Amino acid sequence: MWDLLARSLGASTIFLFAALGELVNQRAGVLNVGLEGLMLFGGTAAFITAQTTGSLALGFLAGLLIGGLLGLAHGLFSITLRGDQVVSGMGLWILSFGLTTYLGNAYTGPLGLARIPSVLGLSPFFLLGFVLVAMTWFLLFRTSLGLAIRSAGENPAAAEASGISVLAIRYLCVTFGGVLAGLSGASYTLSYNPVWNYNFLMGWGFVSLALVFFSMWNPWILMAGASLFGIMWQLSLSPELVLPGVLSRYIWRTVPFAITIPILVIISTPWFRTRWGLAKPEALGRPYTRG
Amino acid sequence: MRVGRYSLALDPRPAVSPIYAVLTAVVAILLALALSSFLFLSADANLFGAYRTVFAYAFFTPRGILATLQRAIYLLFCTYAFLVPLRAGLWNIGLPGQVFAGALAAFAVPSLLRAQETAALPLAAAVIVLLMVVAAAAAGGLLGGLAGLLRARLQVNEILVTMMLNSILFWLVSYMIKEGGPFMGATAEGEGFTLPSPLTAPLFRGVPYTAALALGAAILLDLLFAKTALGYRIRAFGENPAAARYGGISPVALPLLVFLLGGAFAGLAGYHAFTAIPGVYKIPGNYGFYGDLSFYGLISALIARGSALGAVPIAVLFAGLSLGARFAQGALRLPFGVDYALLGLLMMTFVASHVFYQFRITWRRVPAEALQPVSTETGGR
């Protein structure tokens, strides 16, 4: 049972890293629906690098780097060029989906490196996730940079008038979001499930994106949500541990996705929105034009 | 942005001429093809030879032409499925899920009627085929409609909902065709049962009748958007939902309607892919590939800028390219996934071309006095 829980928490860090980065860039007003693509590309880059160099550290570095670069690309299109953020995000996702299938195919199979040591079966990334959540919360709600980030996402014109460079803040956050998405992908392919397969994520990125909406843009709630989904995900992979022989394993695989939809519906009801919906960054998804 | 004595600015384009729209589409496609040359670097042929292999197979061999047409029909249905909601400003990325729903519904008809054997068809074959088409469109439409309804009533993000439905339907198909599922084939090798030949889509010179549906739909869709009040409302809603609302356009009915219609087209794509292409006639074990392929439809709708007839040549080209790329993969010993990589490159060049479509890039000479450093000293008049 502990094994299952430990593995669930390992799974939850994949959701957590990606969603935490997305939370920060959404707080600054930039929506990146291509999260899954950034995770795919980061994870694939990490896997290929680790396998060719034999170094997990270099692998992680490559994952972070690629994630950051793709985040920057999203910034270039959606901030400087003032393009539609959905077009750019979807573009990044399909670009990554297509290119990683081609680039990674020769590496299909297990990583073949020593597993990252775990503490009592618990992945060290869980601890890292906890630290990152605490740091992000502190940054967003207790520092002047955090105030600048939140104001860039709420009312960029007012932020600009008070001397904050909205462009710089948004670039910073969208790149940070990309780096964390890369970390998420890399911890999937190097630690959680070190076997490369085409489109290995199969929806993890989109679930992470949904988690950001569930979290009401609060890192602590995000962490709780990610843990819950990690457990649910792991149960859907091995339902026989809890309910042996009930329903086909394929039906269990649909459960995390099937639960996401009603949660999305609940948080979208007027009742929920008027009560708790104020956290949504007011300028989310809207390009900012200075002057 | 300032470069030397000039300043560079992005000005929104008020209106885009059709010629310019065609030009950006052609440039985006050509650029993607040019970029794909790096995919051929490891090929057993020179660059020119590799491109020739791709095009020669898809467009100049009898076998290839038929396969290209069959795939183009599939891509066209997928294109409309994405295009109709896009005209209302909504993103239907649920194409794979709606395709699978259509396929499951189509195969449910012979399964429920116990018509899996040719010997004992309970109804005339034509009636069963008709039921299959209707069931496929209805199932795709319902699945799309769910996302549309949630979007319309509660503003639930349609990208997330359709993506979740994609994953649900993907596993549902596995359940239906594998490990003793209701639609499992007699060979029990993880694929669906084979359709008895009277129930497959009728062919005319090797081309299934769905070709006529696909072309007819292109004409009807363009007429809908250009000539009817409904089409006008959809476009107005897509361009400015708030203004459309003040203009008396229902913000509830339209998102639902476009998603019902879009989903129905994706359902038809699922019907076509698994019952109308000779050599398939079942839900194969690699059905996920058809889901991936549906994203070519997404790109052709984007590149065609919402014109259904404009998407026809693009879908034919993409069908040929994806097939030719697969063929070249074997013939020239390329790594797997050239067709996937091309999908990614096309998306990238589309996004880049979108900037030029939306904005005019203007260079202005900066007046000389603006370049002078402004003195902060107050004295020295």
Query: Which of B154, B167, B336 faces A269 most closely, judged by CB atoms?
Result: B154
**Rounded Cα gap, residues B159 and A284, in angstroms:** 16
**Rounded Cα gap, residues A114 and A133, in angstroms:** 28
Distance of residue B354 Cα from the nearest chain A Cα, in angstroms: 8
Whether the CB of A135 is below 8 Å from some CB of chain B: the reply is no
Residue A284 lies in a domain: no
Which of the 8 DSSP states describes residue B37?
G
ipTM, interface predicted TM-score of the complex: 0.91
Residue B271 lies in a domain: yes
- Give the DSSP H or E segment for B11: strand B6-12
Per-residue model confidence as pLDDT tens for chain A (291 residues): 778 888 899 899 999 999 999 999 999 999 999 999 999 999 999 999 999 999 999 999 999 999 999 999 999 998 988 888 998 999 999 999 999 999 998 899 999 888 888 877 788 898 999 999 999 999 999 999 999 999 999 999 999 999 999 999 999 999 999 999 999 999 999 999 999 998 999 889 999 999 999 898 999 999 999 999 999 999 888 888 777 777 888 999 999 999 999 999 998 888 888 877 667 888 888 888 875
Phi, psi dihedrals of residue B211, rounded to the nearest 5°: -60, -45
Strands (E), B175-333: 203-204, 207-208
Query: Which of A82, A96, A250 faces B344 most closely, judged by CB atoms?
Result: A96
| Domain count within chain A | 1
- For A103, the domain range is 2-279
> Reduced to 3 DSSP states, what percent helix, strand and coil does chain B have, rounded to the nearest 5?
70, 5, 25
Instruction: Encode pLDDT of B36-78 as tens digits.
Output: 888 887 666 788 888 888 899 999 999 999 999 999 999 999 9
Residue A287 lies in a domain: no
Is the CB of B154 less than 8 angstroms away from the CB of A106? Answer: no
Angle at CA B366, nearest 5°, toward B362 and B369?
165
Closest chain A residue by Cα to residue B347: A91
Q: Are B354 and A78 in contact (CB under 8 A)?
A: no
| Domain count within chain B | 1
Residue B27 lies in a domain: no
Distance of residue B240 Cα from the nearest chain A Cα, in angstroms: 14
- Report residue B370's pLDDT band, with 50, 70 and 90 as the boundaries: low
pTM: 0.91
Query: Which of A95, A203, A269 faces B344 most closely, judged by CB atoms?
Result: A95
Query: Which of B156, B160, B335 faces A106 most closely, judged by CB atoms?
Result: B335
Residue B23 lies in a domain: no
Distance of CA A24 to the CA centre of its chain: 10
**Interfacial B residues in 69-128 facing A (CB < 8 Å):** 91, 93
pLDDT of residue B274: 95
pLDDT of residue B379: 47
pLDDT of residue B12: 79
**Interface with B, mutate which of A82, A95, A100 (most B CBs under 10 A):** A95
Residue B157 lies in a domain: yes
**Rounded Cα gap, residues A257 and B351, in angstroms:** 29
Distance of residue B19 Cα from the nearest chain A Cα, in angstroms: 22
Residue B360 lies in a domain: no
Residue B300 lies in a domain: yes
Query: Which of A33, A77, A251 faces B159 most closely, judged by CB atoms?
Result: A33
- Give the DSSP H or E segment for B224: helix B210-227
* Nearest one of A22, A52, A49 to A35, comparing CA atoms: A22
Which amino acid does the sequence have at A79? I
Residue B74 lies in a domain: yes
Residue A30 lies in a domain: yes
CATH code for the domain in which residue A249 is found: 1.10.3470
Residue A285 lies in a domain: no
- Give the DSSP H or E segment for B2: strand B2-3
- For B158, the domain range is 70-305
Is the CB of A77 less than 8 angstroms away from the CB of B351? Answer: yes
Instruction: Encode pLDDT of A30-85 as tens digits.
Output: 999 999 999 999 999 999 999 999 999 999 999 999 999 999 999 999 898 888 89
Residue A288 lies in a domain: no
**Interfacial A residues in 63-122 facing B (CB < 8 Å):** 77, 81-84, 86-88, 90-91, 94-99, 101-103, 105-106
pLDDT of residue B369: 66
Closest chain A residue by Cα to residue B155: A268
B171 CB neighbours in chain A (<8 A) are 250-251, 253-254
Query: Which of A94, A106, A198 faces B343 most closely, judged by CB atoms?
Result: A94
Residue B316 lies in a domain: no
According to the 3-state scheme, what is the secondary structure of chain A?
CHHHHHHHHHHHHHHHHHHHHHHHHHHCCCCCCCHHHHHHHHHHHHHHHHHHHCCHHHHHHHHHHHHHHHHHHHHHHHHHCCCCHHHHHHHHHHHHHHHHHHHHHHHCEECCCCCCCCECCECHHHHHHHHHHHHHHHHHHHCHHHHHHHHHHHCHHHHHHCCCCHHHHHHHHHHHHHHHHHHHHHHHHHHHCCEECCCCCCCHHHHHHHHHHHCCCCHHHHHHHHHHHHHHHHHHHCHHHCCCCCCCHHHHHCHHHHHHHHHHHHHHCHHHHHHHHHHCCCCCCCCCCCC
